Amino acid sequence: MFRCGIAYPRCRWIVPLLLVFAIIFDIIAITVSSGWAEDQDAKSHYSGMWDHCRGRDEDWNCKSLMEYSWAQAVAALMIIGLIILIVAFIISCIALCRTVNITLLPFIGVLLIIVVIIQVIALVIYPIKFRDDLIFEGHYYFSWGYGFGWGATLLSLGCAILFCCLPRYEDELSGLAKTKYLYTSE
């Protein structure tokens, strides 16, 4: 009557879809101009990955963060991570969407682990150097743009684990194995 099992052939489509979401999150994090850090008290200072602005209401004084070497490094690492993520997505579509090519899956997992390492470095450098170089007074919090960067990194980590584990389930992915039910009710 009721059966609950894992449909492995659906994983062939879900994992590349998760990579699409990671790419979208990365693009949002990279392109957002004001969503990385904000002044909590007076709303007089906000910052993105590319610039930071101070002021009130209509009078904002914006300066580029690209004059700081740490900001250049953060931007470069995030963009390199995005490029590698796009390459991993293209290879995953080739490996999973048409026919199952198990030999490419560990390679995709390694690419995604590289993405995770690169982006974690960037996402750790930013708040440390932002606090050291740009905060003079008040309390700050890191907002939604910065959170999208972490979201892309965590999705990449999850997909890396999946791609490293999927070669064990070659028959299930190709649909040759019998479905194993986790729960059956007679």
The domains found in the chain, sorted by start residue, are 8-33+63-185 (1.20.140)
The predicted model scores a pTM of 0.82
Does the pLDDT value for residue 100 go beyond 90? no
pLDDT per position as a tens digit, 102-143: 788 889 999 999 999 999 999 999 888 877 777 666 677 778
Nearest to 80 by CA among 164, 156, 144: 156
- Greatest mean pLDDT among 2-6, 39-43, 52-56, 133-137 lies in 52-56
CA dist 4 and 161 (Å) reads: 23
Query: Mean pLDDT, the chain, as a whole number?
Result: 81
Structure-block tokens of residue 93: 């579509």
